[in-house]
Structure 1
Amino acid sequence: MPGHPSRVLIYSRTTAYRHESITHGVAALRELCLESGLEAEATESPDVFESSGLGVYGGVVFLSTSGDVLTARGRRNLQAHLGGGAGFMGVHSAACTEYDWPYFGELLGARFAGHPPPQPGCVVVEDRDHPATAHLPERWRHTDEWYDFTATPRGSVNVLASVDEDSYQGGGMGAGHPVAWEHRHGATPVFYTSLGHAPEAYADPAFRAHLRGGLLSVVRPG
Structure 2
Amino acid sequence: MTATAKSGASTLARIIVLLLGCVCFDSNLAYGEERAAPKFKVLAFYNGTYDAAHISFVREANRWFPQVAAQHGFSYTSTNDWNRLNANELGQYQVVMFLDDLPHTAPQKSAFQTYMQNGGAWFGFHVAAFNTDPGSWSWYHRQFLGTGAFKSNTWGPTTAVLRVENRTHPATARLPATFRSAVSEWYSWNNDLRKDANIRILASVDPSSFPLGTDPNQTWYNGYYPILWTNVNYRMLYANFGHDAMDYGANKPLSSTFASEVQNRFIVDGLLWLGGAAAAPVQGLGSDAQPEMN
TM-score scaled by length of structure 1: 0.84
Whole-angstrom distance in 2 between the partners of 1:108 and 1:173: 23
Are 2:195 and 1:167 equivalent residues in the alignment?
no
Query: Between the two proteins, what is the percent identity of the paired residues?
Result: 26
- The answer for the alignment partner of 1:182 in structure 2 is 230
Structure 1 Cα separation of the partners of residues 87 and 226 of structure 2? 35
Of residues 189, 194, 214, the one that matches 1:149 is 189
Counterpart Cα distance in 2 of 1:116 and 1:73 = 34
Instruction: Deviation per CA, 1:29-80: give whole Å up to 9, x if none.
Output: 2222332221111001112124522111111111122xx6432111111111
Change (3 A) 1:42 1:210: same
Determine if contact 1:90/1:108 at 8 Å carries over to the other structure.
Answer: no
The residue correspondences of 1:5-154 to structure 2 (distance < 5 A) are 6-13=40-47, 17=51, 19=54, 20-50=56-86, 52-65=88-101, 69-96=103-130, 99=134, 100-105=136-141, 106-110=143-147, 111-117=149-155, 118-142=157-181, 143-154=183-194
Q: Indicate yes or no: 2:200 matched with 1:158.
A: yes
From 233, 239, 242, give the equivalent of 1:196. 242
Residues 112 and 135 of structure 1: CA distance in aligned 2, closer, same or farther (over 3 Å):
farther
Structure possessing the higher relative contact order (Cα contacts under 8 Å, 6 or more residues apart): 1
1:211 matched to 2:267? The reply is yes
Residues in 1 aligned to 2:150 and 2:63: alpha-carbon distance in whole angstroms? 25
**1:33/1:184 Cα in 2 relative to 1: closer, same or farther (>3 Å)?**
farther
CA–CA distance in structure 2, aligned partners of residues 69 and 12 of structure 1: 10
3-state DSSP of counterpart to 2:273: helix
Gaps of 5+ in 2: 1-37, 212-218, 245-254, 279-294
Letter in 2 for 1:200: S
CA separation in 2, counterparts of 1:36 and 1:16? 31
- Deviation for aligned residue 1:17: 4.2
Relative to structure 1, the CA distance from residue 23 to residue 14 in structure 2 (aligned partners, 3 Å threshold; closer, same or farther) is: closer
Computing the radius of gyration over CA atoms, which structure comes out larger, 1 or 2? Answer: 2
Q: Which amino acid aligns with 1:109?
A: G
Asked whether the 8 Å contact 1:112–1:149 carries over to 2, the reply is: yes
Amino acid at match of 2:202: L
Greater fraction helix = 2
Measure the CA separation in 1 of the matches of 2:98 and 2:45.
5
Contact 1:196–1:202 (8 Å) recurs in 2: no
Contact 2:203-2:229 at 8 Å conserved across structures: yes
Alignment RMSD, CA only? 2.6
User: C-alpha separation between the residues in 2 aligned to 1:50 and 1:172?
Assistant: 43
The alpha-carbon distance between structure 1 residues 152 and 216, as it changes in their structure 2 partners (threshold 3 A), is farther
Kept in 1, the 8 Å contact 2:210–2:221? The answer is no
